[in-house]
Copies of this chain bind each other. A is one copy, B any other.
Amino acid sequence: MKGEGTQSAVNGSERMMWTSPIMSVREARVAVEEEPAESMLPFPSSASSSNEPCNEMTLYYHDILYDDINNTENATSAAATKPTVLSTTHWKNDTYFGTLVVFDDPMTVGKVLPMAGEGPAARAQGFYFYDKQESYTSWFGFSIVFNSTAHKGTINLVGVDLMDDKTRGLSVVGGTGHFFMARGIATLRLDASEGTVYFCLQMDIKLYECYV
């Protein structure tokens, strides 16, 4: 993650959209801290006394799955387990039931993948696995890692990606640094895909409990 503090320059034309007016002073203070996760004092939670999120953003998640052949230059994820025999042999359609994928995926403010040498706005590091028989559904556990001049810290998420639904939600269960103790929801929708090798998810992240 070192050297990824170039997000502002790279994505200069599409700045990250943050809207947390009541938090601006504290955010400014946090932004200059070197190690927010440990040095930060906890503030009283701004657990929503209104209907508005205390912080929100939209990021695009790009997953380029290793195809075992020729995309090693670009791949950002790879399957750590094969589909179960139950999935491949006996069910009508292979839905990859049991395949666990580990990823280190770029997340961007705009829809376009970073070009070589460009730093993404954040990285999503974690896993998903396919867990549905008749159709595609996966379960995610991952962290969004920010290490830019604007934002440092992590957001931790878990939940089920019900791919049959147009939109579906994951839970933000915690965070560190700039997102210390945060809770909220990430709403996913498919933005683009190319066969089984690439897909892009739009993630609308809304935090309803913020400590900073």
A interface, CB within 8 angstroms of B: 1-2, 35, 37-38, 41-45, 47-51, 53, 66, 68, 72, 75-76, 78-82, 84-87, 89-91, 97-100, 102-104, 125-127, 129-133, 137, 139, 141-143, 145, 154, 156, 158-160, 162, 164-177, 180-181, 183-185, 187, 204, 206, 208, 211
Tell me if B131 and A167 are in contact (CB < 8 A). Answer: no
A23 nearest CB across to chain B (Å): 16
A197 CA / B52 CA spacing, docked (Å): 47
Once A142-B139, A208-B181 are accepted as A-B contacts, the answer to whether A38 and B187 lie under 8 Å apart by CB is yes
A172 CA / B172 CA spacing, docked (Å): 12
12 A-B contact pairs sorted by A residue (CB < 8 Å) = A37-B169, A66-B84, A66-B85, A72-B89, A80-B81, A125-B160, A126-B139, A127-B131, A141-B141, A145-B162, A154-B160, A154-B169
Q: Which of A41, A48, A102, A173 has the most CB of B within 10 A?
A: A102
